[in-house]
């Protein structure tokens, strides 16, 4: 299947700092990427849909000024958590959709964020 990478895999930061997470599709071009958040023992929660060259579409309840998404190229999307607080500590996972008849989403390995 298609390969999606995410960097970094772990982040520990102080409250009030900003953290950038990168998501790359390694062997295909992804016009659409997705950002999810998952709290322990809970299901995936879609945060936003990112389309290359246009503004991201945020899900209800997700602050677009706090979670900045940039999809600068067909292989890279970034999520920046601005002024992170302890409640932002979570597992952040990106996925990239392979266009075609299956429209399958492939997930990156995820980024664990711990805000102290």
Partner 1 sequence: GQNIDQPTEMTATEGAIVQINCTYQTSGFNGLFWYQQHAGEAPTFLSYNVLDGLEEKGRFSSFLSRSKGYSYLLLKELQMKDSASYLCAVMDSNYQLIWGAGTKLIIKP
Q: State the residues that interact with partner 1 by CB under 8 A.
A: 1, 34, 43-44, 46, 49, 91, 93, 101-110
- Least distance CB 83 / partner 1 (angstroms): 26
| Nearer Cβ to partner 1 (43/53) | 43
| Nearer Cβ to partner 1 (80/105) | 105
- Least distance CB 13 / partner 1 (angstroms): 20
How many other β-carbons are positioned within 10 Å of the β-carbon of residue 113? Answer: 21
| Nearer Cβ to partner 1 (51/82) | 51
Q: What span, in angstroms and rounded, lies between the C-alpha atoms of 77 and 111?
A: 14
The answer to whether the CB of 42 falls within 8 A of the CB of 27 is no
DSSP 8-state assignment for residue 102: S
- Least distance CB 91 / partner 1 (angstroms): 8
What is the 3-class SS of 2-37, one letter each residue?
CCEEEECCEEEECCCCCEEEEEEECCCCCCEEEEEE
| Nearer Cβ to partner 1 (2/82) | 2
């Amino acid at each position: 299947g298609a390969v999606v990478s995410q960097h970094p895999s772990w982040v520990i930061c102080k409250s009030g700092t900003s953290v950038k997470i990168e998501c790359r599709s390694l062997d295909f071009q992804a016009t659409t990427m997705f950002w999810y958040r998952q709290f322990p023992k809970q299901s995936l929660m879609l945060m936003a849909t990112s389309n290359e060259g246009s503004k991201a579409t945020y899900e209800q309840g997700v602050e677009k000024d706090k979670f900045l998404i940039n999809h600068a190229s067909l292989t890279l999307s970034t999520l920046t958590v601005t002024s992170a607080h302890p409640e932002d500590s979570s597992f952040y996972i990106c996925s990239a959709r392979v266009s075609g008849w299956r429209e399958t989403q492939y997930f990156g390995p995820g980024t664990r964020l711990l805000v102290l």
